[in-house]
Structure 1
Amino acid sequence: MMEMWMLLLLQLRLGNAPWTEVLGVSLSAPSNVSISSFNMEHILSFLPGPGTPPNAHFTVQIVHQRRSSWRPVVGCLELKAGQICNLTTAFKDPYSQYRARIQAFMPTQTSNWTVSEWFQPLSDTVLGPLDVSVSGCGNCLILQLRVPATSGAQQILQLKTLYRGVVLRVQRTRDGAQFTLNLPYTEETMITYLQPGVEYCVTVSVTTLFRSSSVSSPPHCAFTSPPPSTGSLYVILGLLGASCVLGLLLTGLVVHSGRLNSSRTLRQHKDWLQTPHSLTPPLRSSSEGGGDHCE
């Protein structure tokens, strides 16, 4: 008896019970079944069919393009309304195409299967923005590019394989002048021939060999040469002011010393001119020397 009930439940789960259509008690098939993908994380979403009871469950199966048999997805065998099915690990080959289907079921009822469109992980995923950091290097900018930290280990490996190039949109903050660079993808990239001491903002998006769409990163801004801080600027201005004052004092001291020396020289010369000078040598007295004298 137990085996018969198990067989009946299995037929209900597979949608093969013959009386469900005869009695008209089958559940409505799920609707709006779609697969979306962001950074190689693949999510199946759906809506319950009209009139589906709140206590109904849903089961998901997938098929590979080169295989004809459907297989169940672990973790998506008894979904509730409003839940999603993560197909990231189920789609093992990113170069192949897959389809998913979903069915509503209850202990005594099932619905028809609703099948999704064909999905290829590499071409149908949307590539999110990279993690970007920018630093100045004189007349250039250095960009560090990383796979988003929220990605899992499998996704990181697939994304690194998928990335082929980056599109850099560079804008000068001062006047809005901008240009675009297309470069190969590397984790470190340098933008050269920029003006020193000027702020630039960089927006990054990735390119692939497939038709995957890409979301650009927000602008990341940095100065090519770091501008001095406010405190350093005050120190520099103070030193310049002190240097100017010292230079003026030294100049004034030199000028004053020169004037003093000139005044002293002129005064000495004037005193010498005003002092009487005899042009004939003085007469010696008779007592000097051993000369002859008369009695």
Structure 2
Amino acid sequence: MKHFLLSSHLYRSRDRLLAAAPPVPVNVSVHSVNFRHVLRWDPGPGTPPGTHFVVYNVQRYFSRPSQNFSQHQLKWLTNSTTTWVQLKLKDQTDVYSLVVLASYNNSLSPESLKCRFTPYEETKIGPSKVSLAGCGNCIRVNVSLPEADSSSSVYMHKMYNPTYRVVYKERGGKEIVYNTESRSFNLTNLHSGSEYCVQVHALMRLNKNTKPSNWTCTFTSMLEANTGELTWCLYYMFIADLKV
């Protein structure tokens, strides 16, 4: 009889705990730009005010297949439904599964659906920075990728080794396409003293979420006149005038 009463009490306590557990968070997603990762979610329907949220990550290192999954708490939050998540890559192939739990009155909800995230493939890479300088009938172009968030320990160019698709045109002229792996190069055989505009798009085998730069414009330099030829021409004209 005592055993029956104890069992009934435990079942009733369990039912009360389950009933008090807050709804499961929904719509978990990651918005990532240049390796700055922001995790977002929505409270489950009927979530009471004052609910807190816990973020967990389950990470698998594909470069070390003998290592098991590991789970650890990333961050304890208050009422916020968005947070910056620091994910330091030990290997470029690291994959994360992020889950969110709701906490209310010392009760935890079940885990949300896992949000699988592969930083090196899915982070959005901002447009490259392009600087131009005229050099006679050429333009000197320097390109730099945006810097990754400092918490990631990622050096963009080393990780992706991109090819740069360069599009340039004279003002009002046709576009010319040029591909290069160099971050510093010359566009040659241009008209001196003319305005040219350049756009650069970094193309990466490992990440397709790149954006082209804005168009950047500059003038080629005017070629300096040959002073020797100019002097001889003036001298010839002076002699001719004397003979008249």
- The TM-score with structure 2 as length reference comes to 0.75
Q: Unmatched 5+ residue regions in structure 2?
A: 1-12, 62-67, 224-233
Alpha-carbon distance, 1:116 to partner: 3.1
Partner of 1:130: 128
Partner of 2:169: 171
Letter in 1 for 2:221: S
1:172-192 per-position Cα deviation (integer Å, ceiling 9, x unaligned): 11x2311111111x3312222
Alpha-carbon distance, 1:210 to partner: 1.5
1:62-84 per-position Cα deviation (integer Å, ceiling 9, x unaligned): 112353332111xx222432332
Quickly say closer, same or farther: Cα 1:154–1:36, change in 2 above 3 A: same
1:28-57 per-position Cα deviation (integer Å, ceiling 9, x unaligned): 111110122212222211111122223111
CA distance in 2, matches of 1:130, 1:155: 19
Partner of 2:28: 33
Letter in 2 for 1:188: S
Q: Aligned ranges for residues 15-54 of structure 1 at < 5 Å?
A: 18-19=14-15, 22=18, 24-54=19-49
Partner of 2:193: 197
Quickly say closer, same or farther: Cα 1:130–1:113, change in 2 above 3 A: same
Alpha-carbon distance, 1:93 to partner: 2.8
**Which structure features the higher share of helix residues?**
1
Partner of 2:93: 95
**Which structure features the higher share of strand residues?**
2
SS at match of 2:77: coil
1:186-228 per-position Cα deviation (integer Å, ceiling 9, x unaligned): 331222222221111111111112242211111110112169x
Quickly say closer, same or farther: Cα 1:120–1:149, change in 2 above 3 A: closer
Alpha-carbon distance, 1:153 to partner: 7.0
Alpha-carbon distance, 1:138 to partner: 1.1
CA distance in 2, matches of 1:226, 1:114: 64
Structure with max Cα Rg: 1
Aligned length: 213
Please give the root-mean-square deviation of Cα atoms over the aligned residues, in Å. 2.9
CA distance in 2, matches of 1:159, 1:102: 33
Pairing partner for 1:183 from 159, 180, 183 = 180
Quickly say closer, same or farther: Cα 1:154–1:61, change in 2 above 3 A: closer
1:108-127 per-position Cα deviation (integer Å, ceiling 9, x unaligned): 32212113332211111211
Which gives a bigger RCO, structure 1 or 2 (Cα 8 Å, sep 6+)? 2
CA distance in 2, matches of 1:144, 1:153: 26
